Each structure stands twice: as C-alpha cells, then as structure tokens.
Amino acid sequence: MSGAPRNFLVLVFGYSCSAYGNYLNLVALSLYTLVVTGGPLGVGIVMALRLGAGFGTGLLAGRLVNRFDRRRLMITTDLAQALAMVALAAGPRDTGLLVGVAVVLGAGNTLFTVALRSSVPEMVGQDHRVRANGLLVTGRSLGTVLGFASAGVIVAAGGFAAAFLANAASFLVSGATLVLLRLPTRAHPPAPDPPDAATPAQTPRARTGRSLLALVGPVVVTMIAVRGGDAFGSASHNMAIPLYANQLDPANPAVVMSQFWASWAVGTLLAHQVIRRWARERALGERAFALGTCLMAVSFVLAFAVPAGPALVAVALVAGLADGWTEIVYTSRLQALPDEQRGRLFGLSATAETAGFATGMVTSAALLESLPALTVVAAFHGVAVLGAVALLAAALVRRHDRDRTTEPTP
C-alpha cells in the first residue's frame, strides 16, 4: 500500500483467516445444530440467539470502542471466540453449550467489526481508507469462498470437531496479527476547551447526549437506515436461493447454488479493482452508495428470473460487484467522520444490519411457504431500493441548500 503502513496487509491476512473460519463454521455449526437439537426449529432458535447477541452488542459497541483500547478489544473477541470453538469441539453435545457458543460468536463478531471499522482511518490514514476497506472486502471474499468450499470436505474427513478447531485456529491467527502489529487505532483526543465564564461549560454528558441526527446530519442517518433495509432484503435471497435452486435443477440443486455464490464472490473481488479506478476521478459518497444499492437489489431480483447457466452467473457476478462496491463506499463514508463519532455510528450500523437481517429471515421464511421466490425477493429488495431513492433525494436537497448558501450575494 503506497503511502500507507505495509503491515496493514498482515492484518488483512489475519482478517481473511478469520473470515474463512467464520464461513466454514457457518456450514458446520448449522449442521451440528441440526444434529444436537433434532430439527430445523432448533437451528432457527440458535440462529436467532446468535443474531440477538449481535443486536444487543451493537447497542453497546459504540461506547465500548470509544472508551477502551480498540486493539485490545479485537484481540479479546478473537480469543473469546477461539475458546468457545475449542469448548464446542472438546465438550459434549449439549444444547446449553451450543447456545452459549452461539451468543459468544454473535457478540464477538459484532464488537470486532465495529472496532475494526472505527480504527481503519487511524491505521492507514484518511487518504488510504478506501483502498484499505477494499483490501478487507477482498480478503473476506476470499475467506468466504474457501470457507464454503472446504466446509463439506473438512466435516466429512474429520467430523464437526475438526471444523470447529479450524475455526478456533483462524481466530488465533487473527488475534496474533493484532498482537504483533502496533498500528494505531485511535486519534489523539482533542485538547479540552478553556472554560468560558460567559457561557456555561458543556459537560461530556451533555455533549454525548446530543442526538446522532444533530451530530452527523440526516443523510448519514439515512445511509444507516438504507443499510438496514439492504440487510432485510439480503435475508430474503439467502432464504430463497435453496428453494429456487431446487426448482431449476431438482437433481443437482447444489450445483446451481455453487454457481450463484461462486459468481457472487468473484464479483465482490472485482469491486475493489473497479472502485480503485473510479475513486481516482470521482468522489465516493451518498450517491455512489445509493446507486450501488439499487444495482445490487435489482441484480439479486433478476437472479430469480433467469435460468441456471450463463445468465445466472452473469447476474450473480453483477450482484457481487454491487455488494462489494456498496460496502466499501458505505464504510469509507462513515469513516470520514471524526473519530469520536465513528464508534457510535458503526455500533448503530451493526444494530440496524442485524435487526434487518433477522427480521428479513423470519418474515421471508414465512412468506416463502405460500409465495413464489421471485415475488418475495422483489418485495424485500424493494425496501432497499425505496430507501436508496430517499437517500438520493436527501443528498440532492443537501447539495442544493449548500449551493444556495455559497452563492455570492448581489
């Protein structure tokens, strides 16, 4: 990374290993939960507890990353998740242990993500945050592909314990990179303002008590809401893909799913390369995020309207490209704000995304019992499109107001 700390690439490697373990575990833990609980209802309950833990942690994560050392928080979450996976691998097949591990994973992943996203500008500098986010998305995409691809092989060869220990090792690698690297994670706190006898001093409680809307403006808050709506829509296609794959090819639905997710992953890998060239000439902000969200939503809907084969591959590729694009733009936009605001924003974002995904999973699963997959996915992703249109309108209004205030007076 020209002009930025090259050892950030080591952190990206650790993050990629962690992502690999997470997606390997996503398959292995779902199958293990099915065995332990005896049915899909148990899988749904454990998933709900995991998402609930992530939701609750998101509400507190902003305060935690602003109050405590972010690097230590990330190391602690990696260690906690590694220990949880070792306990699951070595312990009995007990529902209570399974629930405890699900809670630790949900809370740990959310806190780690909020701390990392809040720290990136201090690690590499504001000028390099877009490229750094692109590298993180690329690393996670590689981890996703390898994790999904190897899950079945590892579980078949070594059982669930081997998969859980591999996930634990991935967390330890991620934690080790953070221990070895001494990248800064927080901006230096500003010097306190001198007391003014003419105006009452504003206490820290009063400053933090101000609404987020007043601090960052309606456009940023709308972006977070759109991100939650995007997660709501994403839940629908995650639930519908297995059903649609079975309709397209009842004999080999796994082949259709592999085509879709492999193409999606390639698209997310391309997003970093595309955004590097785009960012050289254009600013990345609300409009780029809103347009990317619309493209992503339309692409996922089209995936349920085309046959398996080249058409599905092409649509999934565009969906992955738009998915990676929106994440990089969104994260970079929130990171442009002052350090003391980032933790609260990313905590709120994690809460919105988790709530959207959880709500989307429950409602889409119920609707898919009686409605076609295309109808459900189109309706759910329509929520994200409506939010993106509202964001575009808010950005245009803000730009118009700004232009009016800068016009020279006659």
Q: What is the largest CA-CA distance in the chain?
A: 80
- The answer to whether the 1-185 and 213-403 domains have the same CATH topology is yes
Mean pLDDT of 259-287: 78
Q: Per-domain residue ranges for the chain?
A: 1-185, 213-403
Q: Tell me how far CA of residue 124 lies from CA of 97, 185, 186, in angstroms.
A: 39, 9, 11
For the domain spanning 213-403, the CATH number is 1.20.1250.20
> What pLDDT shows up at residue 190?
40
Residue 194 has pLDDT above 70, yes or no: no
Side chain identity at 252, as an amino acid letter? N
Between CA 237 and CA 226 the distance in angstroms is: 17
The chain-wide mean pLDDT, for the chain, equals 84
Mean pLDDT of 319-323: 94
Where does the pLDDT of residue 331 fall: very low under 50, low under 70, confident under 90, or very high at 90 and above? very high
Residue 360 has pLDDT above 70, yes or no: yes
Residue 312 has pLDDT above 80, yes or no: yes
Residue 209 has pLDDT above 50, yes or no: no
Where does the pLDDT of residue 394 fall: very low under 50, low under 70, confident under 90, or very high at 90 and above? confident
Indicate left, alpha or beta for 3 from its phi (over 0: left) and psi (-120 to 50: alpha). left
In three-state secondary structure terms, 283 is coil
Q: How many CB atoms lie within 10 A of CB 248?
A: 20
- Output Rg (C-alpha) for the chain, integer angstroms: 22
Mean pLDDT of 388-401: 80
Those residues with Cβ within 8 angstroms of residue 234's Cβ, 6 or more apart along the chain or in another chain? 300, 357, 360
Where does the pLDDT of residue 91 fall: very low under 50, low under 70, confident under 90, or very high at 90 and above? confident
Q: How many residues in the chain?
A: 410
> What pLDDT shows up at residue 117?
93
Mean pLDDT of 7-34: 89
Indicate left, alpha or beta for 169 from its phi (over 0: left) and psi (-120 to 50: alpha). alpha
Mean pLDDT of 263-279: 83
Between CA 314 and CA 139 the distance in angstroms is: 22
The CATH number fitting domain 1-185, selected from 1.10.230.10, 2.60.40.1840, 1.20.1250.20, 1.20.1110.10 = 1.20.1250.20
Q: Using one digit for the tens of pLDDT, what is the confidence trace for 131-182?
A: 899 899 989 888 888 887 788 888 888 889 999 999 999 999 999 999 988 7
Q: Tell me how far CA of residue 245 lies from CA of 35, 183, 256, 373, in angstroms.
A: 24, 45, 6, 11
Residue 213 has pLDDT above 70, yes or no: no
Angle between helices 373-406 and 339-367 (to 10 degrees): 150
Q: Using one digit for the tens of pLDDT, what is the confidence trace for 120-131?
A: 998 888 888 888
- Identify which has the larger pLDDT, 43 or 316: 316
Q: Using one digit for the tens of pLDDT, what is the confidence trace for 55-88?
A: 999 989 989 998 889 999 999 999 999 999 999 9
Poorest-confidence range of 37-41, 95-99, 166-170, 388-392? 37-41
Residue 314 has pLDDT above 90, yes or no: yes
Residue 346 has pLDDT above 70, yes or no: yes
Residue 96 has pLDDT above 50, yes or no: yes
Mean pLDDT of 189-209: 42
Mean pLDDT of 237-265: 82
Where does the pLDDT of residue 197 fall: very low under 50, low under 70, confident under 90, or very high at 90 and above? very low
> What pLDDT shows up at residue 403?
56
The string over 71-110, giving b where at least 16 C-beta atoms fall within 10 Å of a residue's C-beta and e elsewhere, is: bebbbbbbbbbbebbbebbeeeeeeeebbbbbbbbbbbbb
